Amino acid sequence: MFDLAEAPPDLIAPEDLIEELDSLFAHRDRYDARIASVLQQIEESEAYSRDGYTSSTAMLKHRMSLHPGEALRQVTRANGLTQAPLTAFAYASGAISGAQVDVILEAKFVAGDAFPEAEGWIVTLAMNTPLVRDLKKQLEYWLEQVASVDLGSERNLMRDLRSLPLRRDGEMFRINGWVDIEAGERLRAGVELGPPAEGDTRSTPARRADLLLDIMNGASGRPDILVHVSAETLLERSPGISEASTGTFSPLRRSGGSPVTPT
């Protein structure tokens, strides 16, 4: 049986639509928190094995028809909340969203022993920082203070995972890859598109592909990226946090892990 809303969306007054949507998202977050709680119990009791599944992730993929990545994310969130009681409580009460929870749990993994003492502050920060991007940025700065070595190791691991598979598919080539955030920022800046010229009927992805080819053929200048970094980091020639003008931030390290040398 479906649990339908009392009034279909087309019967809600226009001036109330945004408030209705906000309410629905709040309800969804509470349901997601309940899902995480039930998943915790399933993990602890291995209830998934009763139906022949080898893991909770497999159960979510086959029984609940979740995409593998989403299934893994749900289980990871549930497991992470078992050791983050204040975060779990705020999530269950609707004070923070699932996306905020995921950012907090990522910070918890890197912070290690520093997390329990700071959890109350972190939850309060999340409650006062609705934008996930801003929350992640502030937690990265905190991690730079309490776990700079682990943070640098994590970022170096991300570099090691970069890849760019190329596969011929008929008369076309398929390109699908991963790069670290610094390289991604350079790539995005390089293929940033302006409005199409009059009469240009190409799609946005097609225009972006053509621009990338132009860059490879030397027909486009190098992109400029403005990066903000503290004077202390530059003067000490040590790893730190850098922030691009777009708001993207990352450790200030050369490829291979060596610190940046100021000029």
Average pLDDT over the chain reads 79
Residues near 244 by beta carbon (within 8 Å), at least 6 away in sequence: 185, 225, 226, 227, 228
Comparing C-alpha atoms, which of 10, 3, 77 is closest to residue 43?
A: 77
Quickly count helices (H) and strands (E) in the chain: 11, 5
> For the segment 77-113, what is each residue's pLDDT rounded down to a tens digit?
999 999 999 999 999 988 999 999 999 998 998 888 8
Phi, psi of 173 (to 5 degrees): -115, 135
Comparing C-alpha atoms, which of 68, 46, 65 is closest to residue 57?
A: 68
**Whole-angstrom Cα distance, residue 68 to residue 62?**
9
Domain boundaries, the chain: 1-82, 97-146
pLDDT of residue 79: 92
Both tokens assigned to 199 = 């009469």
> For the segment 136-151, what is each residue's pLDDT rounded down to a tens digit?
889 988 888 887 655 5
SS3 27: helix
Angle between helices 17-45 and 98-111 (to 10 degrees): 50
pTM above 0.75, yes or no: no
